[in-house]
Chains A and B, each alone.
Chain A
Amino acid sequence: MTERINVDDVTTERALDLYREMLRIRRFEDRVYQLFLQGELPGTLHQYQGQEAVAVGACQALNDGDWITSTHRPHGHALAKGVTVRSAMAELYGKATGCCGGKGGSMHLGDPDVGMIPAIAIVAGGVSVVSGMGLAFKMQRNGHVALCFFGDGASNEGAFHEGLNFAAVQKLPIVYVCENNMYGASTPFTATSLVPNVADRVAGYGIPAVIVDGMDVLAIHDAVSEARQRAAAGDGPTLIEAKTYRFAGHSRGDARGYRSRDEEAEWKEKDPLVRLEYSLLNAGRAQESTFARILDEVNTELEDAVEFSRQSPDPRPEDALTDAYATPIGTGTHS
């Protein structure tokens, strides 16, 4: 049975916007998976289906000028932060029109124009780096906030503990969003921690930690808004632990033998898209046709992005040799 979420405090227009944002990610991921299986996309994929509410709720709570860091699973974060579907898709195709010009790829999506550094595929890498982003904002007194997405598994890295403690002591304007999807690759979080929540670990650093329903976009949005305010006011970082689930395997070709189909089915019941749709329908706030129309529009946007990517030029081979330094330094004999 689908569990309703509280939609009383949000306008219908806003709720439908959030729905559309989540659906765009869901359909992007589904489409990308097909393209991958068809051999159109190189490399590997870490997919985001199931976790859409976290990226969308969090990014919608940010202001212009705020930045995010992301992980090896960045597609949802990128789209939610405003990387265009075209430039994200083209990047997965390795095309010159991609958001990183074909140099980054799936694990490094990002675009400074929308406030997202290239996603960091080293687990917990973002937790280190975000300290400096927050530090810069504090020194620049610009009121901006940095938001760091990371997984449950990342909380086992030294970088997590050093980064959090430093940011706490310095009262940096940072919001940490931990997406606890219960697994780091094949390893259950519970096999790696004697405390059940990532939030429990944060007590040692003297900053607030909030656990939220990661399948409820509105709950995430509210929690992040509050944390953002606190950060911007100079009161320091907050950690938000979103309890969520990835519907797909860890990466392509993961047969998910380490978790049960029952557990998966249980979490599918909490699908953040279905829940929002169901709650709005139930409250008489939207019609089935509204959702059908949004789906149509999102699909059109996606097909446009696929076509755009297919038509886009490859990078030129010589582009491989630029961008390592601000000014080329000329290193030795190359052939």
Chain B
Amino acid sequence: MNGEIEALKRKAYQLRRDVVEMVYRARSGHPGGALGMADVLTVLWYKFLRADPQNPAWPDRDRFILSNGHTCPILYAILADKGYFPREELWKLRKLGALLQGHPSTAHKIPGVEFSSGSLGIGLSFACGVALAGKLDKRDYRVFCSISDAECQEGQTWEAALTAHHYKLDNLIAILDRNNCQIDGPTERIMALEPLAEKWRAFGWEIFEIDGHDYEQLISAFEAALKGRGRPKIIISHNLLGKGVSFMEGDHRWHHGAPSDAQFEQAIRELRLAASSQASGIGG
């Protein structure tokens, strides 16, 4: 394993600790999806995304649109780490008057947030609009849009999928959090999505299906997706909800909910241990 990957993995565990602490201190929020997406978003934000924290409005920046807005703790942790706003803001999450709202908000002018989400199924259409504008303006920014698997139940997601293909939006890369979970249970029990990759393929998208915790797969998927021309791309990232915190892993009930004092301590301990085993090259 090379040093770059180790460093990325350590970063992901550091961000996970922030996620858990934010939700713990807020006494509410959505840790599960956020923890599962930590690896894919770390690879995106720390290796591929072209952005300048000192100049969040830079016209040529790559756009990151979080359509599954409830997972915002991981985005906020990344933005704070990158210096978009002071880290202290993280601990005011969800409180009255705070910068960091329970769901991402451009209305509150959160630096680095491109889209106000929270209502599922809307973000991919917005991303199509941003990608179309990029084409019209002949700018070479790329648009990355995170969507959840349960969002693939909303009809609008498929309207956006048609649109992106129709307009050949090859500057658009969707990242699908395939964790098989939604609020009331496993997706396949609530409203079956499979065969999901085949659906996206049939809609004309280029598919990259990967293990969302395997850094080699993550990196090569982003590299290939960034090369593809002529059509929109989707990285179907098989993620484990709650990844890194044993009692949350794979349990849809951690879609939302704050850990107790004891659970918080255990979670932080586990995440520290996992990070240090990265450092010494064990595990992974």
Q: Does A pair with B?
A: no
